Amino acid sequence: MSKVLLISTGGTITMVREPKSGSLVPADMETFKAFMPELFAGDIRVEIAAFDPLIDSSDIAPDSWTKMAQMVYDHYDEYDGFVILHGTDTMSYSASALSFMLENLGKPVVFTGSQLPVGVLRSDAKENLLTAIEIAAAKDEDGNAIVPEVTIYFEDRLFRANRTTKRNAEHFSAFNSYNYPALAKAGVHITYQPHLVHYSDTRLPLTLHTQYDTNVAVLKLFPGIQQATVRAILHIRGLKAVVLETFGAGNAPTAKWLYRELKSAVDKGIIIVNKTQCSTGSVEMGLYAVSLNLMKAGVLSGYDITTEALLTKMMYLLGELPDQPEKVKQLLQTNLCGEITIE
Ligand code: ASP
């Protein structure tokens, strides 16, 4: 019998309405289990580990990523796969973070949750969770895990975690992977796309990385942005890296002051990576003349990475390699676990 560890952090899937405020709050695992007798009725053995208390994912922080990754690491040999129940709001950040923290992963780690609490009749909780468990346990004819990656399963699709973004606060299909195809689709059958899966070198042991440096920021450009705004961000004390959200193929205003601010930040050792504000497509610095100043200032290309993956990759690399900025820069421009397409 396959064994899956269900790690619950909370999120809407575990929530009930608080009578006084009318707001949704996480219940406890006993209440959740009472709504999900199917968990223990199938032919996959499910065991549960949970955060105490369960939390809304807006309260997730890097120490929560450490807790989740540590739970996977500590129980790695005991289970065929892992499912992490998580609120949808920050799921893409946590799942991206774990994709970097769990190096040489050879088993599935599937994040899922729901848009409606498990106790609501029309909830998407059961379908999401039961399919995620099946995917976490799925093996090919040789007994190898079919998708040994960190992924997100939601509605009817399985995505590589570090390619996802929460795109919808209303519909059941809450996530999308704009720059990489789905790894599986679930209908009557689950159809896997093994040729799209990222396989780690499993001859190497699973390695857990838990060092984070949160001295990072996002600077989103917009027409009319003022020098004082850019300056305030680039002068944050202790700042080490910035996600620069640009227009289209990685373009920015040609104002001289912007060039000067960016160049002086780079000269001080701050790493700046160009990430397009578009959901689909890639940064292509030099395609338009309006991106030449960014290149001249020493801004790096983020290619087609998501903001969620770029931020968590920066935190992870800065934490793991505190005194090696050149190595951090080089790895930010390298595909570590399928998060970026570099032609
Ligand atoms: N606020 C909730 C959370 O992220 C939303 C959800 O789970 O869908 O925990």
| Cβ of residue 89 lying under 6 Å from some atom of ligand 1 | yes
Question: Of 191, 208, 225, which one is at a domain's C-terminal end?
Answer: 208
Distance between CA atoms of 163 and 180, rounded to whole angstroms? Answer: 7
The CATH number of the domain holding residue 152 is 3.40.50.1170
| Cβ of residue 319 lying under 6 Å from some atom of ligand 1 | no
Q: Are 7 and 114 part of one and the same domain?
A: yes
Distance between CA atoms of 274 and 242, rounded to whole angstroms? Answer: 9
Domain assignment present for residue 220? The answer is: yes
Domain assignment present for residue 139? The answer is: yes
The CATH number of the domain holding residue 255 is 3.40.50.40
93 Cα–ligand 1 center, Å: 13
Tens-place pLDDT, residues 321-330: 999 999 999 9
Question: Of 159, 177, 208, which one is at a domain's C-terminal end?
Answer: 208
Q: Confidence band (pLDDT; 50, 70, 90) for 149?
A: very high
Residue 68, φ and ψ in degrees, nearest 5: -65, -50
Q: Which two tokens stand for residue 306?
A: 């998501």
Instruction: Identify the CA nearest to 310 among candidates 153, 99, 138, 106.
Output: 99
Average pLDDT for residues 121-146, to the nearest whole number?
Answer: 97
pLDDT of residue 202: 83
Alpha helices, H only, the chain: 29-35, 62-74, 91-101, 125-137, 227-234, 256-267, 292-297, 307-320, 325-332
DSSP state letters, 78-107: G-SEEEEE--STTHHHHHHHHHHHEET--S
Taking CA atoms, 39 is separated from 45, 155, 186, in Å, by 8, 18, 18
Average pLDDT for residues 204-225, to the nearest whole number?
Answer: 98
**15-17 and 24-26 strand pairing:** antiparallel
Whether the bond into 37 is cis, omega within 30 of 0: no
pLDDT of residue 343: 78
Average pLDDT for residues 153-161, to the nearest whole number?
Answer: 98
Tens-place pLDDT, residues 165-196: 999 999 999 999 999 999 999 999 999 999 99
Is the pLDDT at 276 greater than 90? The verdict is yes
Catalytic residues: 12
Tens-place pLDDT, residues 28-85: 999 999 999 999 998 999 999 999 999 999 999 999 999 999 999 999 999 999 999 9
Q: Are 103 and 246 part of one and the same domain?
A: no
How confident is the prediction for the chain on average, in pLDDT?
97
Q: Are 201 and 238 part of one and the same domain?
A: no
Which residue among 13, 16, 25, 58 has the greatest number of ligand 1 atoms within 8 angstroms of its CB, and so is best to mutate?
Answer: 58
116 Cα–ligand 1 center, Å: 9
pLDDT of residue 214: 98
87 Cα–ligand 1 center, Å: 4
Q: Counting Cβ atoms within 10 Å, is residue 1 exposed (0-12), middle (13-18) or buried (19+)?
A: exposed
Average pLDDT for residues 312-331, to the nearest whole number?
Answer: 97
